[in-house]
């Protein structure tokens, strides 16, 4: 899941809607029966706009999920960097008011080891 704005999330619906959600209430852990996207409205924005990866259409969602559609880097308010090949998700993000800066990244995504996206590429190589 990516969060390019306080009131916008990029969401892998078919997986995250099935997730069990637990909330910490003081020293207790309480199971919340709602979908994660509904719970997030309590913490991010009551008017939360959900950008479903691949528009939650099975084949598009799976393809764009595995091509790291939610692995974005937020570079400014309502502005993110994303892979250009996630066209459906990027279009939906733009419709939600997010400026999407795209790049090819062909060699990065097929390198075979750990899958990397724009957010992962900003992480340090060595932590001190």
64 phi/psi in degrees, rounded to 5 = -70, -30
d(Cα 91, Cα 86) in Å, to the nearest integer? 9
- Catalytic residue list: 120
Nearest to 69 by CA among 22, 55, 78: 55
- Contact between residue 22 and residue 31 where contact means Cβ atoms under 8 Å apart: yes
């Amino acid at each position: 899941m990516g969060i390019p704005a306080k009131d916008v999330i990029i969401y892998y619906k078919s997986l995250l809607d099935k997730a069990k959600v637990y909330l910490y209430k003081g020293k207790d852990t309480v199971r919340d029966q709602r979908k994660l996207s509904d719970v997030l409205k309590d913490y991010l924005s009551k008017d939360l706009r959900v950008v479903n990866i691949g528009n939650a259409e099975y084949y598009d969602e799976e393809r764009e999920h595995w091509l790291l559609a939610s692995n974005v880097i937020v570079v400014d308010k309502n502005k993110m960097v994303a892979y250009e090949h996630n066209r459906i998700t990027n279009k939906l993000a733009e419709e939600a008011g997010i400026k999407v800066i795209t790049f090819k990244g062909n060699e990065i995504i097929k390198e075979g080891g750990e899958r990397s996206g724009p957010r992962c590429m900003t992480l340090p190589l060595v932590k001190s």
